[in-house]
Amino acid sequence: MPEHNATVTEIEELAPSVVQLTVALNDRDFHFAPGQWVNFGFPEGVSRAYTIASAPQRPEAVQLCVRVGAGKGGDALKRLAPGAAVSIDGPYGDFILPEAEGRPVAFLAGDTGIAPIRSIVLHMLAVDDRRKITVLYEPDQRHILYAGDFDPLARSGSIVHESGRIEALIARNRKTVESSRKMAAGFDGFLARVQSALRANGMDTSEVIVESFGPEP
Ligand SMILES: Cc1cc2nc3c(=O)[nH]c(=O)nc-3n(C[C@H](O)[C@H](O)[C@H](O)COP(=O)(O)OP(=O)(O)OC[C@H]3O[C@@H](n4cnc5c(N)ncnc54)[C@H](O)[C@@H]3O)c2cc1C
């Protein structure tokens, strides 16, 4: 994939140790499907995979939602400042919602795993995708990321958005989840618990579309 030069325009703390980076690409040749990720190149040369949290309808302001880890990427994040020149390599990944399906969609997200799901949901609403959307979200320490987007949508009935322990959410929404196309994103420990919870509720996990962020930072 070609590497794109970009500038960090905003860094916002969404929760303790979670930041949203807004990035402006210096060229217009960057296109992505909602759900994809990029290799984000820090000014000092370190690069890390981060998933795009914004919808493709806003290519001028690409947003990434990142937990600040204990490794080199986390260190580089702490030093990053608005105005920094960075590189974006990508997009990559196949965490992509199949288009030609009639069934509802159930998203299962843990912590910053909400990033690709926010991109997909905002895109579905922008293109008037009529499938029923259920977002089951396990936050870290009760910090509901992107509540400002999801709460109004849930209140207006455009989506269902529930938060809590993922096992309890899956059990409570068993019928909906069972009949839906399932997509799960987050760190490895969370994804393992999702698989167990789906199986415990009698569901086949072979068709779940999964995006793993690797080990918990
Ligand atoms: C496809 C993909 C998409 C991703 N998308 C996102 C995303 O959207 N948002 C997000 O938050 N993350 C995402 N990640 C995870 C991200 O890329 C990093 O792996 C994560 O941020 C940790 O990076 P790090 O540099 O802090 O840790 P790394 O240097 O990669 O180290 C990995 C882990 O080792 C341990 N470790 C390393 N060094 C130390 C140290 N000095 N002391 C103690 N422990 C240490 C820590 O547990 C650390 O998290 C994604 C990963 C993948 C593969």
Instruction: Kindly report the protein residue whose alpha carbon is nearest to atom 6 of ligand 1.
Output: 50
pLDDT at position 28: 85
The structural domain count of the chain equals 2
Q: Which residues are CB-neighbours of 17 under 8 A, at least 6 positions away?
A: 67, 68
Give the global pTM.
0.95
For residue range 156-202, list pLDDT tens digits in order: 999 999 999 999 999 999 999 999 999 999 999 999 999 999 999 99
| Mean pLDDT in residue range 87-101 | 95
Structure tokens at 98: 């199949």
Longest dimension (CA), the chain: 50
How much is the pLDDT for 133?
Answer: 98
87 and 113 in a single domain? The answer is no
Q: What is the CATH number of the domain that holds 195?
A: 3.40.50.80
CATH number of the domain where residue 48 is located: 2.40.30.10
Q: Which protein residue has the closest C-alpha to ligand 1 atom 42?
A: 70
* Position in ligand 1 atom list of the atom nearest CA 69: 26
Ligand 1 pocket, CB under 6 A: 37, 48-51, 65-67, 69-74, 112, 115, 213-215, 217
Range of the domain at 78: 3-92
Rounded to whole angstroms, the Cα distance separating 146 from 150 reads 6
Name the helix (H) or strand (E) containing 79: helix 72-79
Q: Whose CA is nearest to atom 10 of ligand 1?
A: 66
d(CA 214, CA 216): 7
Taking the CA of residue 51 as reference, the ligand 1 atom at the shortest distance is 8
Residues 151 and 199 both lie in one domain: yes
The predicted structure's pLDDT at residue 100:
82
